[in-house]
Amino acid sequence: MLKIDNLHVRVAGKDILKGLTLDVKAGEVHAIMGPNGAGKSTLGYVLAGREGYEVTQGSVTFNGQDLLAQEPEARAATGVFLAFQYPVEIPGVNNTYFLRAAYNAQRKHRGEPELDSMAFLKLVREKLKVLHLKDELLNRAVNEGFSGGEKKRNEIFQMAVLEPALAILDETDSGLDIDALKLVAEGVNRLRSPERAFLVITHYQRLLDYIVPDVVHVLADGRIVQSGDKDLALKLEEEGYAWIKARKREEQAAFAS
C-alpha cells in the first residue's frame, strides 16, 4: 500500500530524513519509534504534504501512485490521514461544519455523491457513540479551548468519520493520561481492518501495549536502523535509545576495521 524508498527530506536547509525505506501493506500496523529529533514528525508531515519539507531524493508511492506529486487535499481524498501531534485550534469554525466540508470534499474528489447535512449528522452521531464521545463536541469550534486529551480524541473522531486507508498517528499518545490513552487506542483498534493500514509514530512503548503493532521500526538520525516485531519495542523500553546508538558505534567500528 505505502512504499517509501530511500527518502531524503530537507527542512529549513537541514537534512532530516536521510534514506528512509519502508513498506507498509494493507491491514498492517507499523510502529515508528525513535529518539527526539530522529525525524519522526517530519515523516508524518512529508507524507501528508506540508509545505517547507523538501524531498531531495527518493520516492513515496501510495497504492501505486506517486504521493509526493499530489496536493495535501488530494492525498487526503486518496485515503491518507495524519493525526496531528499538535492539532490546530481554528476559532469560529464549527467542528461539524469542518468535518462535513472535509468529508464531502473527499467524496467529490473521488466522484462520489456528497452527503446532505441530515445524513451526515446521522453518520457522525454513530461514530461519536462508538468512540464514547459527547454530542457537544459537534457544536464546538475546531479544537478551540480543548484540553490535550480532547484534541487527540477529536483527531481519532475525525479519522473514524473520514475512514482513511492509511492513518498516520503522530505521537497521539503524548500528553495523554492512561485513561485517555486507552480510549484513543480503543478508537484505533476499532478501525483496524484488512483494508486499512496504520503508521503509529511514538516515542514511548506505552501506546503499543494497547495498539499492538505487526512491525516495529526504530528511526534514528533520519533512517530506519532496526526493524522487528512488537518485542523490539519492549527491548527499547528496557534499554533506551542509547542501546541503538551504542550498536551503531559498533557497526561503524566493524566497518572501519
**List of residues contacting other proteins (CB under 8 A):** 48-51, 71-73, 75-77, 81-82, 84, 87-93, 98-99, 101-103, 105-106, 108-109, 114, 141, 158, 162
Of 103 and 146, which CB lies nearer to other proteins in the complex structure?
103
CB of 78 to other proteins, least distance (A): 10
CB of 106 to other proteins, least distance (A): 4
Of 166 and 220, which CB lies nearer to other proteins in the complex structure?
166
Cα angle, residue 110 at apex, residues 7 and 195 outer, rounded to 5°: 60
CB of 220 to other proteins, least distance (A): 26
Among residues 125, 126, 105, the alpha carbon closest in space to that of 115 is found at: 105
Of 106 and 226, which CB lies nearer to other proteins in the complex structure?
106
Query: The C-alpha cell of 26 is what?
Result: 494493507
| Contact of 28 with 197, CB cutoff 8 Å | yes
CB of 97 to other proteins, least distance (A): 8
Of 88 and 118, which CB lies nearer to other proteins in the complex structure?
88
Of 50 and 245, which CB lies nearer to other proteins in the complex structure?
50
CB of 117 to other proteins, least distance (A): 14
Helix/strand/coil for 208:
helix
Of 62 and 216, which CB lies nearer to other proteins in the complex structure?
62
CA–CA distance, 67 with 43 (Å, rounded to integer): 13
CA–CA distance, 33 with 217 (Å, rounded to integer): 6
- Alpha helices (runs of H) in the chain, residue ranges in sequence order: 40-48, 72-77, 95-109, 117-130, 148-162, 178-191, 230-239, 242-256
CB of 123 to other proteins, least distance (A): 15
CA–CA distance, 187 with 206 (Å, rounded to integer): 16
